Chain A
C-alpha cells in the first residue's frame, strides 16, 4: 500500500514538473505559439525630388457620368465670392468662379493656414444638383476637413444643410464627417447636392497633405434656375 502511495506521489510530482515546463495545459499541450516572420522594409536610394507641377491624376480612373434633371445650368459663373481670409496670400477670390480651371500658377487663390472657408452667393435661392470643387490639382495632395454646406442664410446660422464632410475626427468643429478623403485630380470633386434649395454655398478646408494652406482653383455650382 505504502509502495503504491509512494508510486502515485512520485508520478504526481513528475507531472507537476512537466506541466509548467510545457507552458500550456489541457488541450493546448500539442500546440505552440506561431512565430510569424514579417518582411523587413526594402532599402532603396534617394527618391525623386518633385518640385514641378504634374498634371497627371494618380488614380487614373475617370469619374463616371453624373445624371441631373433636364435644364440644369451652371449657376456660379462670375458670382461674388467671400472668404474667412479677407486677404488671400496668392491670387484673388474671383478666381474661384472665373471659369478657369488650369492647375498652373496664376489660376488658384491661396488662403491662410488652418480652417478657412469660401462662400459663393448665387444671387437667388435655387434647387442645387451638383457642386464641383478643384482645390489644387497640379499635385497629388489631399485637403483636410473638406466640408460643403448650403443655406439661404448668408451667415450660415439657420437652415444649414451639410452636403459633404470628411472631417473624421471633428478637428474643425463641423461635426464628425463620414465622407471619405480624396486625392485631388484634374476632375475635381463632385458633391451631389440632391436638389437642396439654397442661395449660398460655403466650402471649408483645413490645410492639406503638402502644407497648411488652403487653395481653390475653381468651384462650380450646378442647379435649376430660380423661378
Chain B
C-alpha cells in the first residue's frame, strides 16, 4: 500500500467514525445509567462538588473530561446542558481510538491499521457505546493508549513513552476501578510473550537501571492522574483509598447471582449471532473470523512487511485472557464486551492486512476485496440499524434496559403541562417510584425547580398538593385513590415491562389537550 493510499484511507475511516459517532446524539432517550451519570456530573458542574462513591458510578474521569466543554457551552447550569453535550465526550474518545491505531506502526502493517480503523469505524458495538454517556468508551480509549504507548516504549526505550503509558494506565483506573482485570490480562499476556521468546542478554550494563527508572516514571505517571481525580483534586483525601476498598463491592457484585447474571458464552453469542423473536439477525462474525485469521498469522513467519509478530501475539494473548476473564465473571452487561472487542478489532485488522498482502496478483486482490467489502458493508448496515433505527429496540443486542421512546412522550406531556401552569418550571411535581423505576426522570426533569422523589407513597405527603404526580405502576391505584378522581391518569412506558402513570390535575390536562389540538397534526404524537 502506498503512503498516499494509506493516509487517504485512514482519514476516510476517521471521518466516517466521527460522523457516525456524533450525528444525532439526541436520538436515543437517555438510559437509566446515563441519567445517573448526568446527575452526578451536574453536582460537579453546578457546585464544583464531586465525591467518589465506592458503591456505584465508577471512576471520576468521565465527569472531569465532560467539564470543560459543558462549562463553555452551558456555564454552571445542568439545565442548560443537553444529551448531545454530554454524549459528545465518549463520541470524541470513540473517534480518537482510531487515531491511536497509528501508534501501532511497526507492530501492525499499514494495511492492518487501515483495516482495523475501518472495522472500528463501523462496528455496531463500538459505535453504540461511543454514543452512550457511560465510562466504557473512555476505558477502551485509555486501554488502547496504554498498549500503544507500551509498544512505542518497547521500540524506543524512551522515558516519555513510559510516562505516556503510565498516564494511560492511571486514566484507565480513574475511569473504571474494574480496569484491574485488564491490567491483570495485560501483565499475563506480557509474561506469556516473554516466556515464548528466546532469552537475550542485554548488551548494555546500564539497561536494567534504565528499565527500573522507566518503571518508576510509569508508576508516577499512573499514580498522579488517578490520585488527583479520585481525591477530587485533593478535596477528598480518602478518595483513592476508597477506590481500592470498592474492589470488595465489585468482587461481590461480579460473583453473586443477580439481575445481570449471564452464561459464560454471553459475549461470544452477542458477537456471533443474535436474534430475538421476530427481530433481525445481528452478527459480527465477520470481525471474529478475521480476528481468528489474524491470530493464526501472528504465529506464522511474516505478519506483514512493516508489521511485527510480537505485538500481534501480545494482542492475541491479551484478547484471549480478557475474553476468558469476562466470560468467567457471572455479572455481564453488553458494554463490558468492549475491551475484549478492541483486541478482536486489532487482530481482525491484522487478518485483513495479511490477506491483502498475500495476494500478489491483482486478480487475487480483487477476489479478497470482493469477499471483504460485503462483510464491511454488512457491519455498516448493522451499525446504522443499531444507532439510528433500532437504538431502543430490545431485539438489538446492545440495547440493555434501555428507556423506551414512549417515555419521551411523558416528558413532552410534563413540559406541555408546565407551559400552561402559572408557575411554569416552579410547578410542583411529585414522583413516587422505586429507584429502579425513577431514572432517567431526574435528568429530564432537571429544569424543574420543585421535583420531589419518594419511594413510598405514604411519605410523599398529600398528593393533591402537586398538580402533576408521576407514579410507578405499583403505586398507581393508591395514587389514584389519594387524588380523589380530580386528576387525569395516563400510562407511559419507561422500559419494557415498566410502566409509569402520569396524573395531571384535570383543569391543566384539559388546557394541555386544547393547546395540543391547536398545534398542527404533524407535530402531535401524544
Contact = CB atoms under 8 A, between A and B. Distances in A.
A49 B489 contact: no
B40 A171 contact: no
A42 B276 contact: no
B156 to A, nearest CB: 42
B439 A142 contact: no
Interface in A118-169: 139-142, 144, 168-169
A180 B491 CA distance: 9
A41 B490 contact: no
A93 to B, nearest CB: 17
Contact of B493 (A48, A54, A210): A210
A42 to B, nearest CB: 4
Interface stretch (B179-187, B206-214, B452-460): B452-460
Nearest to A176: B513
Contacts, number: 131
Interface in A55-107: 58-59, 90, 105
Interface residues of A, number: 36
Interface in A9-58: 38-51, 54, 58
Given A46-B259, A47-B436, A41 B499 contact: no
A142 B450 CA distance: 29
A40 B39 CA distance: 11
Contacts of A44: 36, 56, 435-436, 438-439
A180 B488 CA distance: 9
B235 interface: no
Nearest to A51: B394
A46 B56 CA distance: 10
A46 B435 contact: no
B425 interface: no
Given A209-B406, A210-B406, A45 B497 contact: no
Contacts of B492: 142, 209
A168 B513 contact: yes
A39 B474 CA distance: 20
A59 B473 contact: yes
A141 B436 contact: no
Contacts of A210: 404, 406, 493, 496
B404 A209 contact: yes
Contacts of A141: 493, 496-497, 499
B441 interface: yes
A178 to B, nearest CB: 10
Interface string B390-432: 0001100000110010100000000000000000000000010
A7 interface: no
Interface in B458-485: 473-474, 476-477
A46 B260 contact: yes
Contacts of B525: 171
Nearest to B392: A211
A42 B438 contact: yes
Nearest to B53: A43
A183 interface: yes
Contact of B491 (A43, A139, A181): A181
A169 to B, nearest CB: 4
Nearest to B433: A41
A54 B57 CA distance: 30
Contacts of B431: 41
Contacts of A180: 489
A50 B497 CA distance: 7
Nearest to A173: B521
Contact of B490 (A46, A140, A181): A181
A205 interface: no
Contact of B455 (A42, A45, A90, A211): A42
A46 B496 CA distance: 14
A179 to B, nearest CB: 11
A11 B42 CA distance: 50
Nearest to B437: A47
A139 B489 contact: no
A90 B278 contact: yes
Contacts of B404: 209-210
B473 A140 contact: yes
B263 to A, nearest CB: 14
B158 interface: no
B313 interface: no
A208 interface: yes
A144 B498 CA distance: 16
A183 B493 contact: no
A7 to B, nearest CB: 45
Given A40-B453, A43-B57, A168 B488 contact: yes
Nearest to A180: B489
Given A41-B453, A43-B40, A168-B509, A51 B496 contact: yes
B454 A46 contact: no
A46 B401 contact: yes
B205 interface: no
A39 B496 contact: no
A160 to B, nearest CB: 22
A171 B524 contact: yes
Contact of B473 (A40, A105, A139, A183): A183
B450 A38 contact: yes
A54 B394 CA distance: 15
A46 B32 contact: yes
A44 B437 CA distance: 10
Given A169-B526, A210-B406, A54 B36 contact: no
A39 B457 CA distance: 13
Contacts of A140: 473, 497-499
Nearest to B461: A36
A181 B497 contact: no
Contacts of B32: 46-47
25 contacts: A38-B453, A39-B453, A40-B442, A41-B435, A41-B439, A43-B36, A44-B56, A45-B56, A46-B333, A47-B439, A48-B436, A50-B495, A50-B498, A51-B394, A139-B497, A140-B499, A142-B491, A170-B517, A171-B525, A181-B490, A209-B404, A210-B404, A210-B406, A210-B493, A210-B496
Given A171-B524, A211-B393, 10 more contacts: A40-B453, A41-B453, A42-B438, A43-B39, A43-B435, A47-B495, A49-B259, A58-B473, A59-B477, A169-B512
Interface of A: 38-51, 54, 58-59, 90, 105, 139-142, 144, 168-171, 176, 180-181, 183, 208-211
Q: Top 10 A-B pairs ranked by shortest CB distance?
A: A209-B493, A38-B452, A44-B435, A142-B491, A42-B435, A47-B436, A41-B453, A48-B259, A49-B401, A41-B442
